[in-house]
């Protein structure tokens, strides 16, 4: 670093003579408005925060590398999935869902697993969780659901009544509720849990064939969970336990790794498969669609500036690249709108020009100009945000920016009448029951205890409704919850 860069300066680069004493009228006198250095410092401090994410506010970010070990060109033209041995830079943000930025890491809550690939054809984000399913199958219910996970608008307290009332009235949540209340509901840290894209996405290949696809990341560190009692103790001792664990692992060179797998379904199977493959409350059988291991995700570098890189990262399910697409999953469809909209509000309209959000392995060339904080360059690619500084419209005869027709997604056949379909899948319970029956006896006992620890404080009507749902999943499941509630 040069001697010049070591001088303490104001934001306009002027050297500061004294950063410890403000300018006052006399030794004991009031301060002077002309102390613009003091004013700059206080004014910037007042603006140090942006709105926290409406969900997933508390998180840990890490850079890494994805190495492809199986060529996937028979399914997709996506560059990062073509060519054995290809390495792609990644960024992952892990998170809890319901708590605020200062909340404890060891809460019973799904964990966010937002994975970005900086590919040569743009950033590809898979913004998933540590669970293969979710509580809902239609995004129109998401704001209501999240309200029940956050604070009561009157008491400002977490509200078990709202939570169980919502689940009692939305039995589609049963599968995810069973996962959440099981041992996997509190991962010990972010390294020792699996990750999932959760939704059904699509791949398409050079022949224009489409496949439905699900992503699974299997931890190579082994699964580790906390019991409710262990988590309660840890939350008091170290509310930042998962962040601390990740910082320690990376600085020790103990880089966490996941085996990246996909399940692939040919497009036409979706019409005849035994379940709706676009229903996010359900998993696909691994016998019907076996896991195919395609590569390894390694996390190996902590960000230098938490605010710039982790708080301002803008992961979005709509960040797709040629060869990877969405699916008719109604949750995913709602998310395709929600994230970029949230990020324009939370960070600002030009959030994609920030270093963490800019494409790192290609250039962003378009005709969008202006807006708050508009720069002229994406810092990583060094490219102009447009091909020619004087052209802000297209097509034009100046900048040579071209569309590439070979990257058109194959057409998707649609039919049916536009309507609001309330019960497009009648089965809310089978997979919750299957999961319950798979659990070993001691885990079943902990599952029931975890449920009853909060279900016991809500109204009898809600308890009865929930017992009905647990019984519909598995009669033993329902019976045990009922008895545990009775035993108090
Ligand atoms: C974050 C909306 C469902 C995983 C967010 C954010 C919004 C949002 C607005 C904050 C984005 C930001 O400010 O950067 C929704 C809506 C959903 C939905 C409307 C349903 C329609 C889901 C599902 C999953 C999920 C099903 C997982 C399978 C995440 C994750 C983050 C997040 C991991 C944090 C991303 C990060 O680390 O920055 N969601 N969400 N969400 N959501 Fe969702």
410-442 pLDDT, tens digit each = 999 998 999 998 876 679 999 999 999 999 999
What is the pLDDT averaged over residues 117-141? 98
Can you give the pLDDT at residue 1?
47
Q: And the tokens for 108?
A: 């019973």
Question: Which residue of the set 37, 80, 124, 129 is catalytic?
Answer: 129
**CA atoms of 376 and 384, how far apart (whole Å):** 6
Structure tokens at 283: 């998993």
Q: Is 129 a catalytic residue?
A: yes
* Calpha distance 391→369 (Å, rounded): 10
Give the Å distance between the CA of 166 and the centre of ligand 1.
Answer: 19
> Span 8-25, mean pLDDT?
96
| Cβ-based neighbours of 20, under 8 Å, separated by 6 or more | none
Report which protein residue has its CA nearest ligand 1's atom 7. Answer: 339
CA dihedral 159, 455, 55, 212 (to 10 degrees): -150
Which residues line ligand 1 at a C-beta cut-off of 6 Å?
53-56, 59, 93, 95, 112, 114, 127-129, 134, 139, 142, 198, 313-315, 331, 334-335, 338-339, 342-343, 346
By alpha-carbon position, which residue is closest to atom 28 of ligand 1? Answer: 128
pTM of the model: 0.96
Q: Could you give the CA distance from residue 368 to residue 374 in angstroms, rounded to a whole number?
A: 10
How many angstroms is it from 335 CA to the middle of ligand 1? 7
What residues does each domain of the chain span? 1-48, 59-136+185-360, 429-487
Entry field: residues in the chain: 488
Residues 6+ away with beta carbon under 8 Å from 75: 81, 203, 205, 211, 213, 264
Q: What's 283's DSSP letter?
A: P
Question: CA-CA distance, 64 to 159, in Å (whole number)?
Answer: 38
Beta carbons of 121 and 79 less than 8 angstroms apart:
yes
Q: What is the pLDDT of residues 463-487, one digit of tens each?
A: 999 999 999 999 999 999 999 999 9
Rounded to the nearest angstrom, the distance between the alpha carbon of 396 and the centre of ligand 1 is 37
CATH class of the structural domain 1-48: few secondary structures
Residue 143 above 70 pLDDT?
yes
Atom 4 of ligand 1 has which residue's CA nearest to it?
128
The complex's ipTM?
0.98
Q: Model confidence over 221-237: pLDDT tens digits?
A: 999 999 999 999 999 99
Distance, CA 483 to ligand 1 centroid (Å)?
Answer: 36
pLDDT digits (tens, 9 = 90+) for 76-109: 999 999 999 999 999 999 999 999 999 999 999 9
Spatial separation of the C-alpha atoms in residues 15 and 11, rounded to whole Å: 10
Q: Is the pLDDT of residue 198 over 80?
A: yes
Overall fold of domain 59-136+185-360 = Catalase HpII,  Chain A, domain 1 (2.40.180)
């Amino acid at each position: 670093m040069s001697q010049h860069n070591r001088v303490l300066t104001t934001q306009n680069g002027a050297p500061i003579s004294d950063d410890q004493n403000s300018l006052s009228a006399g030794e004991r006198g009031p301060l002077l408005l002309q102390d613009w250095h003091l004013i700059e410092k206080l004014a910037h401090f007042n603006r140090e925060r942006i709105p926290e994410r409406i969900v997933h506010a508390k998180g840990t970010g890490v850079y890494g590398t994805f190495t492809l070990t199986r060529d996937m060109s028979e399914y997709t033209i996506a560059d990062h999935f073509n060519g054995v041995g290809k390495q792609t830079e990644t960024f992952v943000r892990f998170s809890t869902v319901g708590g605020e930025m200062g909340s404890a890491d060891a809460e019973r809550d799904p964990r966010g697993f937002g994975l970005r690939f900086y590919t040569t054809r743009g950033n590809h984000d898979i913004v998933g969780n540590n669970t293969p399913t979710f509580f809902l199958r239609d995004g129109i219910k998401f704001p209501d659901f999240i309200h029940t996970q956050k604070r009561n608008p009157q008491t400002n307290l977490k509200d078990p009544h709202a939570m169980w009332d919502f689940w009692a009235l939305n039995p589609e949540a049963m599968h995810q509720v069973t996962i959440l209340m099981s041992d996997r509901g509190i991962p010990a840290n972010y390294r020792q849990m699996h990750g999932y894209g959760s939704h059904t996405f699509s791949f398409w290949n050079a022949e224009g064939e489409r496949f439905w696809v699900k992503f699974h990341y299997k931890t190579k560190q082994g699964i580790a969970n906390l019991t409710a009692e262990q988590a309660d103790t840890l939350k008091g001792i170290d509310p930042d336990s998962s962040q601390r664990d990740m910082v320690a692992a990376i600085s020790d060179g103990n880089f966490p790794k996941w085996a990246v797998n996909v399940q692939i379904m040919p497009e036409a199977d979706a019409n005849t498969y035994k379940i709706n493959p676009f229903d996010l409350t359900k998993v696909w059988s691994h016998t019907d669609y076996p896991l195919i291991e395609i590569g390894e995700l390694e996390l190996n570098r902590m960000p230098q500036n938490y605010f710039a890189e982790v708080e301002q990262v803008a992961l979005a399910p709509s960040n797709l690249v040629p060869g990877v697409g969405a699916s008719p999953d109604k949750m995913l469809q709602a998310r395709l709108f929600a994230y970029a909209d949230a990020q324009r509000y939370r960070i600002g309209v030009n959030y994609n020009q920030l270093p963490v959000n800019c494409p790192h392995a290609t250039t962003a060339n378009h005709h969008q100009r202006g807006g708050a904080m508009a720069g002229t360059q994406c810092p990583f690619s060094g490219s102009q945000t447009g091909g020619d500084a004087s052209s802000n419209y297209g097509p034009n005869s100046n900048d040579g920016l071209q569309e590439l027709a070979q990257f058109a997604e194959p057409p998707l056949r649609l039919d049916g009448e536009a309507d609001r379909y309330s019960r497009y899948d009648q089965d809310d319970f089978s997979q919750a029951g299957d999961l319950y029956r798979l659990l070993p006896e001691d885990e079943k006992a902990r599952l029931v205890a975890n449920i009853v620890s909060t279900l016991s404080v809500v109204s009898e009507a809600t308890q009865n409704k929930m017992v009905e749902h647990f019984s519909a999943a598995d009669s033993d499941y329902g019976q045990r919850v009922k008895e545990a509630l009775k035993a108090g």
